[in-house]
Amino acid sequence: MTATQITELDAQVARTEDLSGLRCPMPILRTKKALAQMQAGAILKVTTTDPAAVDDLAVFCKQTGHVLLAQSPSDDGVSAQHWIARKP
């Protein structure tokens, strides 16, 4: 993702969750809880440090109908950011 694309997504974010330090299954459970409290179409930005979260969140979105808009590893190589739109 380019910096411009990230900036554009960040401008649309309705809620953020910093799930750094949490291991599977907690990032998925916290993401599910946050999305349940949001309106349809609203964008959630999640920050994770669990290496499995990239794949886990992709599978979670596919199974639940939420839309994974983007995923971006941070420059530190440890954390990642995920943008998810709540299903309609």
Taking only the tens place, the pLDDT of each residue in 31-60 is 999 999 999 999 999 999 998 999 999 999
What pLDDT does 43 receive?
A: 97
- Domains of the chain, with CATH numbers? 3-71+81-85 (3.30.110.40)
Measured between alpha carbons, how far is 50 from 43 in angstroms, rounded to an integer? 21
How far is the C-alpha of 75 from the C-alpha of 13, rounded, in Å? 21
Q: Would you state the pLDDT for residue 3? A: 83
Tens-digit pLDDT profile for residues 65-88: 999 999 998 777 789 999 999 998
Where in the sequence numbering do the catalytic residues fall? 24
40 compared with 6, residue with greater pLDDT: 40
